[in-house]
Amino acid sequence: MGLSFRQLEVLRAVARHGAVTAAASDLRVSQPAVSMMLRECAAAAGFPLFVRRQGRLQPTPELRVFLDDIERVFSGVERINRLIEDMRDASVGSVVVAVTPALADSLLPSAIAAFRRTRPRIQVTVQAMDNIAVVETVMQGSVDFGLVLTPIADVDARLVPLCTGELVCIAHPDSPLAGRHTVEPRDLAPYPLISFSSSLPLGSLVERSFHEAGVPRRIALEVNQSSVALALVRAGVGVAVVDPFLLMGEREPGILRLRLRPQVIVEAQALVPREGALSRPARMLLAATRRVGSALMGDAPLPAPLRQGQGQGQGQGEYPLPREFRGEPGRDAPIRAPSRAWPGREPPSARCIESLPIPGGGQADDRRQDPRAGSRGQAGRQ
């Protein structure tokens, strides 16, 4: 017959203290109970476990054979209890995020940096891939959530709006367009256009903008990432229309930013599996991503993280929602602060929702697509 966990606990305590009285005090039981347990342990083992020497109980050679193993058992239990306590405080864990390259180069790094200031022991895994792959990965449940750009096709998942902005035209500072603040598609016709295939989300938005303006979109250099278009423009190859997220925050050197008219809105969204609930670390990272995105697009100061125990009931993870971002649940909260991206002028529009619409954490958003973004094209490889 084997020994129970409680019996192992008694053997460990008696071996540590060398006395039944001290072991009973440590275990918070009576001395007779410990003595009886020792007799039961010896009977179950089939050999003596302690001998009395110089007034103390000392382990027999047989007990010493597996006494270290008993210590390892209890050390493992203590580690498990500490891990449970850390998980209760959400100070350990892991989050896996699938993200489109445009957001992997811009929004997500700042969000992770803000998140890890309060949760440095949570491991974050970033998987950069195109929009279609992000959608497929989320649907398969291989990641906690995904970050995509609109438009995307209807998907059986929850869409969490993060922030929105206007498509922006970028040119070299020596371009003849340098004296202008806004441009229209017809103004770009004389210059080599660096752009995306219409099968990509940004490409479909740019294509629609040119079509509505009655201007054919003649692509001189086709790319599949905004960062490549940015590098080509910086080298003086041509002009491009890109998403604003790559330009969020500090000004990009060697790049002239121009407003595109008519205005074309693009939105960064999180894609969350419809079934099941997000882990606490995933909810916190998603909340931090939403806050950082709204702060950077609107140029509002990033709020300081809350200390443990503060801000209870906000439902917003670890970061308080700045006053200028607060609106009624489900309604837009306009940003009024000046923007580094548009110095001296109105910033691109930015929106966020008061309640984070994710499973198991706040207000649910069961929309399959965002009606504010207009008609959806097919999911693309951006």
Share of residues in the chain with pLDDT > 90 (%):
39
pLDDT at residue 297 greater than cutoff 80: no
- Over residues 192-199, the mean pLDDT reads 90
The token duo for 280 is 């606490």
Share of residues in the chain with pLDDT > 70 (%):
75
| Domain boundaries defined on the chain | 5-88, 168-260
- Over residues 59-76, the mean pLDDT reads 92
CA 20/CA 302 separation, integer angstroms: 59
pLDDT at residue 349 greater than cutoff 90: no
Are the C-beta atoms of 200 and 382 separated by less than 8 Å?
A: yes
- The whole-number pLDDT of residue 278 equals 82
pLDDT at residue 39 greater than cutoff 50: yes
Helix orientation angle between 20-27 and 5-17, rounded to the nearest 10 degrees:
130
pLDDT at residue 302 greater than cutoff 50: no
**CATH code of domain 5-88:** 1.10.10.10
**CATH code of domain 168-260:** 3.40.190.10
**Looking at 32-41, 73-82, 157-166, 295-304, which range is the least confident one?**
295-304
- The whole-number pLDDT of residue 27 equals 92
Q: How confident is the model at residue 57 (pLDDT cuts 50, 70, 90)?
A: very high
pLDDT digits (tens, 9 = 90+) for 115-155: 998 888 888 999 999 888 898 889 888 889 999 988 777 77
**Residue bearing the bigger pLDDT, 168 or 367:** 168
- The whole-number pLDDT of residue 152 equals 74
pLDDT digits (tens, 9 = 90+) for 102-113: 899 888 998 999
**Looking at 176-185, 195-204, 216-225, which range is the least confident one?**
195-204
pLDDT digits (tens, 9 = 90+) for 75-101: 888 878 777 776 676 667 888 999 998
Strand order of the β-sheet with 265-273 is: 122-128, 93-99, 145-149, 265-273, 157-166
- The whole-number pLDDT of residue 249 equals 57
> What's the chain's average pLDDT?
77
Q: What is the pTM of this model?
A: 0.59
Backbone angles phi, psi at 250, to 5 degrees: -70, 155
Are the C-beta atoms of 3 and 45 separated by less than 8 Å?
A: yes
**Closest Cα to residue 354, out of 344, 363, 366?**
363
- The whole-number pLDDT of residue 275 equals 77
